[in-house]
Amino acid sequence: MEAFLETLIGLILLAYALAEVLGRWMGVGALAWGKRSEPKIALTFDDGPSERTPELLALLERHGVKATMFLTGQKAEQHPELVEAIRAAGHQLEAHGYWHRPALLMAPWTEWAHIARSPGQLYRPPWGIHSPFTRLFARLQGKQVALWDLESRDWLEQDPAALVERLLFYVKGGSVILLHDGPERTLKLLELLLPRLKEYGYQPVRMDEMELRPLGPRQGLERALQGSEERFDAKAEVYKAGYRYNNVLRLQKQQYHGPELPGYPQGTPCMWIHFESARLAAMSPMQALRAFRETLKEAARVLEAHPDVRFIYGMSYLGEGAKALGFEMHPLPRRDELLSKVTTAWFSWLYRGELPKHLFSDPAQIVYMTRETLLSRYGSAKPATTPSSPPPAPAQPQSPPA
């Protein structure tokens, strides 16, 4: 009997752990982002209505933005006039559960009532936390679980301007941004964020105006790895080569340590190219070409602000397409070419779900562009400021309050 109870407890704990990993961390089966090739993004607000809902609605109206509000059922019952004001303003109303409690601390019958008493076609669990019953109960009640792919961190005691810079660094076409109805910090953040999102070509819309699909296991893995990407960017001091919605490059300043290039020995100051794989994977060849040309103009501004940098470079199979953009080619050593093939295979599978046809037929090469070529082809005489690096990443992942 004791062994049976131990086994039963072990299976229950395993079920809860899997629900947390697959449901919350990876988001498998949930809605979390739209098409990366389009400029549409969704601003979503949890925990309302609140005493600051009228201010939030006025701010969104002033900027001409429609959003998606995930309302707590208990608060909605207490403030029906605010719910009606949200609806009248044209925003999308969805469910955040009746009580603001984590699913892990609710009995199954309580979680059923929690979901049932909060109206909406979409359901966002408080904190995103799942129990083994969350997805089943939501589906039986005709609701689709909706998460996010970018946290605003508006619950942290941080400068709103710093939070905005981080959001602009990581927002992509199709992003679903997690915000909250309640903190004063959120209002200050939005005042800074919304004009710049529009300046960079993004179009904030309601979630029901986006093409959203439930995440599969591969997209779930992509979502789970977002934190590691952010920690790498902070440690390596990666720069954003432009903030437009179709930006496809980030740049990492370093001393060159690859095979010697004509006129550029090891130790030469340079910038290593990191491709925005999620964006590129969703683009057609013509969209990608246009995006490269626009992004290289922004990369030229980065180099204008870093006069010591002599060239930019990366590893690629772009071939003739890279030459058309102004890049030069140089062979890779066998070991580096193998590493490039493995890396390319990984990112192609992660973001496209397939291996590129040229992977084992075409050689990977170093593609590089000299400072003189970049500035002459894409530079501007206008003064430029240095694009910001991402803020330091936290040592441990931080969970939102909703």
Catalytic residues: 46, 180
Cβ atoms of 170 and 33 within 8 Å: the answer is no
> Position of tokens 């720069």?
239
Instruction: Centre a 10 Å sphere on the Cβ of residue 36 and count the other Cβ atoms it contains.
Output: 20
Helix (H, G, I), strand (E, B) or coil at 107: coil
Six token digits for residue 364: 């990977």
DSSP letters along 122-167, please? EE--GGG---TTHHHHHHHTT-EEB--SEE--TTSSS-HHHHHHHH
Task: Count Cβ atoms within 10 A of the Cβ of residue 147 and give its class: 0-12 exposed, 13-18 middle, 19 or more buried.
Answer: buried
- Gyration radius from the chain CA atoms: 23
328: β partners: 368
Cβ atoms of 160 and 192 within 8 Å: the answer is yes
Task: Count Cβ atoms within 10 A of the Cβ of residue 109 and give its class: 0-12 exposed, 13-18 middle, 19 or more buried.
Answer: exposed
> Position of tokens 């964006």?
279
Question: Count of H helices and E strands in the chain?
Answer: 15, 14
Cβ atoms of 122 and 138 within 8 Å: the answer is no
Cβ atoms of 86 and 54 within 8 Å: the answer is no
Amino acid (one-letter) located at 270: C
Six token digits for residue 114: 């929690």
Amino acid (one-letter) located at 304: E
Cβ atoms of 167 and 240 within 8 Å: the answer is no
Helix (H) or strand (E) holding 295: helix 285-304
Amino acid (one-letter) located at 108: P
Cβ atoms of 340 and 366 within 8 Å: the answer is no
